[in-house]
Chains A and B, each alone.
Chain A
Amino acid sequence: MDNVLTVDSLGKNYGDFKALSNCSMTIPRGSIYGFIGKNGAGKTTMIRIICGLQQKTKGNVTLFDRKDTDGNFNVSRRRMGAVVEKPSIYQEMTAIENLKQQFYIKGLTSFEEIDKLLDLVGLQDTGNRKVKDFSLGMRQRLGIAISLVGNPDFLILDEPTNGLDPQGIIEMRKLILKLNHDYHITFLISSHYLDELSKIATHYGFINQGEIIKEISAKDLEAHCGKYIQIEVNNSKALMCTLDDMHVEYKLLSSTKAKIFSTVNITQLVLALDRANCEVISLFEKEESLESYFINLVGGEKDV
């Protein structure tokens, strides 16, 4: 599978402070890459370097097979769009004027696509209203419309659901999925709303203290964090023998607790344990969420 973006050993220092340290990331074409990290982990710094808004200290960025050290790297940049931190829109202009401005910047002489873009993001009825009178959700959507000018193949969204109400979050999710499925746009999305991200992302990258600590596909994550049964008994030896006899995949957590990953008939399990003189103290089904996976990765329950 070819990659849209490859980041190799990226570093950014502010004096002695290392904002990014040896960050490496790979975003496959057609994916929705969820970029997750705590506040101050380095997500926005990395995104800003990829977009050219900040200079790196070391490392390489390869976008559409062009390295950032190539003289014509800006040709690759023309195939991407981004909404970094807050939407970049002129407050004193209308939605149409803002889009026209972006059309000029991209060198597009025909404005036929403007109505289509406004329809796509649900801003077709804004008329002569200036952006300063828009709600936050409307500004976010206009920001995405602007980033879509020129039919980019790759979009970077830095916390696109920040400040949106639940309805706005749902609409944003639907829009991202539509753009990915219908227009085959690859996404890099950084977000604090892990639950929301888990509904759309196909790949994940976890960053902590300026380092990418893990990259994993959604498929592998699901396999790792799927549903399981947690059982507590008074005799772990008997439990292990019983589970081995039943050819069940499990993991011992402690001398009394275990996780059972395979599908198992509970009645048969309990009866088998009873025959082995093993009491079942508790038994319940659990599913590891993206949030708990992330917390386990970075440690502690500090704010995400």
Chain B
Amino acid sequence: MYRLLSANLYRLRIYKPFWINLFILVIIEALLTFMLVVQGEVPLDFTLFIVLLVIGIITSFFIGLFYGTEYSDGTIRNKVIAGHKRITIYSASLLIGIISISALYFVSLIVGVFIVLMFSKDGNYDLLHFLVSSIIGWLSCVSIASIFNMIGMLCSSKSKSSTTCILVSFMFLLIGLICYSLSLQGLNSSIFSEAVQFLFDANPFVQGIQISTVDYLTIYKLGFYCLYLILITNLVGMHIFNKKELK
């Protein structure tokens, strides 16, 4: 596992789209946070809102290509021929996805927090709430990485992988926004209302909308949904990848 992870890290280090994505995300976070800060007081948690809302979309552009290259260039075969087990290859791929999205998340978050602390006059922040929200926000990112990893490891071409990742991220975002809109309007049917709420809570692409404003219990609930999603996507992905013919 360590060998494959080293190989993946080396590739990520020299992968230009990753650094371009990092730059774009940092710029978005910095600009939006600064614009809000100059208009008035901004809660620290708001930096989370910005990052988590865009990170799924931004990451989908580069990560689908990153994973898909292994199939298009045939290099995934080198790992199998070299004697690595399928489960190790899948896990190393998942880890590099987590590392890359974590880097994007934390760097952007630090930039946003820095701007808020620098330019905001009021220093009264609920740091504990922010810390807990940050950790759960990170779990959202990990679950997004798990989804993209499953797509990348099962799609047999670069174009399919990147297109699917982008479409999935927009689809999840759209579903999440529809659920959010419906929940705001209020629904008559309690079953339907619960279903909408579940779809909204379990969707890692839109957890950023509520993560900064809800109570601790709800935050932990969101965290558990993330963990379930991580478990399910990886179990399904590993099972299918284990039997996949690598052409």
Residues of A in contact with B (beta carbons under 8 Å apart): 48, 51-55, 74-78, 80-82, 84-93, 97, 100-102, 104-107, 146-147, 150
B245 contacts A54, C-beta separation under 8 Å: yes
Q: Hey, which chain B residues are within 8 Å of A51, CB to CB?
A: 77, 80-81
Which of B10, B69, B81, B243 is the one whose CB lies under 8 Å from A104?
Answer: B10
The 4 tightest CB contacts between A and B, nearest first, are A77-B83, A104-B7, A88-B74, A78-B83
Interface residues on B, range: 20 to 34
Give the residue of B10, B14, B69, B83 whose beta carbon is less than 8 angstroms from that of A75.
B83
Which residue of A74, A90, A105 is within 8 Å of B85 (Cβ)? A74
Is B126 part of the contact surface with A, judged by Cβ < 8 Å? no
B239 within 8 Å of A (CB atoms) = no
Cα-based distance from A74 to B3 in the complex (angstroms): 14
B residues in contact with A82, CB < 8 Å: 81
CB distance from B114 to the nearest CB of A (A): 34
Give the contacting residue for B75; candidates A75, A76, A90; CB below 8 A. A90
CB nearest to A97 among chain B residues? B14
B79: interface (CB < 8 Å): yes
Interface residues of B in 63-84 (CB under 8 A from A): 69, 73-84
Measured between C-beta atoms, what is the minimum distance from A113 to chain B in Å? 16
B73 contacts A90, C-beta separation under 8 Å: yes
Known interface pairs A53-B80, A53-B246, A92-B69; 5 further A-B residue pairs with C-beta atoms within 8 A, sorted by A's residue number: A97-B14, A101-B7, A101-B75, A105-B82, A107-B3
A75: chain B residues at CB < 8 Å are 83
- 30 residue pairs bridging A and B, Cβ less than 8 Å apart: A48-B245, A52-B81, A53-B245, A53-B246, A53-B247, A55-B243, A74-B85, A75-B83, A76-B83, A77-B82, A78-B82, A81-B81, A82-B81, A85-B74, A88-B74, A89-B73, A89-B74, A90-B11, A90-B73, A92-B69, A93-B14, A97-B14, A101-B11, A104-B3, A105-B3, A105-B4, A105-B7, A105-B78, A105-B82, A105-B84
Residues of B within 8 A of A85 (CB): 74
By a beta-carbon cutoff of 8 Å, the part of chain B in contact with chain A is 2-4, 6-7, 10-11, 14, 69, 73-85, 243, 245-247
Is A91's CB under 8 angstroms from B73's CB? yes
Given A51-B81, A74-B83, A74-B85, also A88-B75 (CB < 8 A):
yes
List B contacts of A54 (CB < 8 A): 245-246
- A146/B78 in contact, CB under 8 A: yes
Residue of B nearest to A150 (CB): B82
Q: For A84, list chain B residues within 8 Å (CB).
A: 77, 81
Cβ of B80: which chain A residues have Cβ within 8 Å of it? 51-53
Return A23 CB to nearest CB of chain B, in Å. 18
With known contacts A53-B246, A106-B3, A101–B10 Cβ distance under 8 A: yes
Would you call A55 and B245 a contact (CB within 8 A)?
A: yes
Measured between alpha carbons, how far is A234 from B66 in the docked complex, in Å? 75
**A77–B81 CB distance below 8 A:** yes
In the complex, which residues of chain B have a beta carbon less than 8 angstroms from the beta carbon of A100?
A: 10
A89-B74 Cα distance, complex, nearest whole Å: 7
Instruction: Please name the residue on chain A nearest to B10 by beta carbon.
Output: A104
Considering only CB atoms, which chain A residue lies closest to B246 in the complex?
A53
Residue of A nearest to B15 (CB): A92
Give Cα A150–Cα B11 distance, bound, in whole angstroms: 19
Indicate if the CB atoms of B78 and A88 lie closer than 8 Å.
yes
Shortest distance from the beta carbon of B150 to any chain A beta carbon, whole Å: 20
- Alpha-carbon gap, A77 to B75, bound state (A): 16
CB B64 to nearest CB in A, in angstroms, measures: 15
Q: In the complex, what distance in Å separates the CA atom of A217 from the CA atom of B247?
A: 31
Please report the C-alpha to C-alpha distance between residue A130 and residue B7 in the assembled complex, in whole angstroms. 18
Residues of B within 8 A of A92 (CB): 69
Q: Given A97-B14, A101-B10, A101-B11, do A53 and B73 touch, yes or no (CB 8 Å)? A: no
B73–A105 CB distance below 8 A: no
Which one of A52, A97, A106 has the greatest number of beta carbons of chain B within 10 Å?
Answer: A52
